[in-house]
Amino acid sequence: MQELELKGCSPKPINKSPRLLFGTRPLYPVGENLVGRTGSAILRFEVSTEGVVKPIGAEAENKWFADHAIIAMRDWKASPAERNGTPVPVVCRLLFDYLRS
């Protein structure tokens, strides 16, 4: 995935949002694609002061979309959030849509 500023992180206030530096996009579950099912997953994860991304969970109406989103987070790396120039841990949420092309 391209570098991406992660918004909607807490606790607030932070002066600099974390940025996703590296990561694999969640794969579209093959079975869901074959039947034409679309949907989304809301990913919840922690970004540590070292930029390590730790999955917390995913919310989705479809279990396969949630599971594939969590699997993708295993290789994500981010720059940490900062408050007054000091790295701080945050919990973020990111919406990922599964749309057929």
Q: How far apart are the C-alpha atoms of 78 and 53, rounded to whole Å?
A: 7
Taking only the tens place, the pLDDT of each residue in 26-81 is 889 988 988 989 999 999 999 999 999 999 999 998 999 999 999 999 999 999 99
Domains identified in the chain and CATH numbers: 4-98 (3.30.2420.10)
**DSSP-based three-state secondary structure for 68:** helix
Per the structure block, which two tokens stand in for 89?
């841990």
Per-residue pLDDT tens for 7-40? 889 999 999 999 999 998 888 998 898 898 999 9
Rounded to two decimals, the pTM is 0.86
Q: What are phi and psi of 72, to 5 degrees?
A: -65, -35
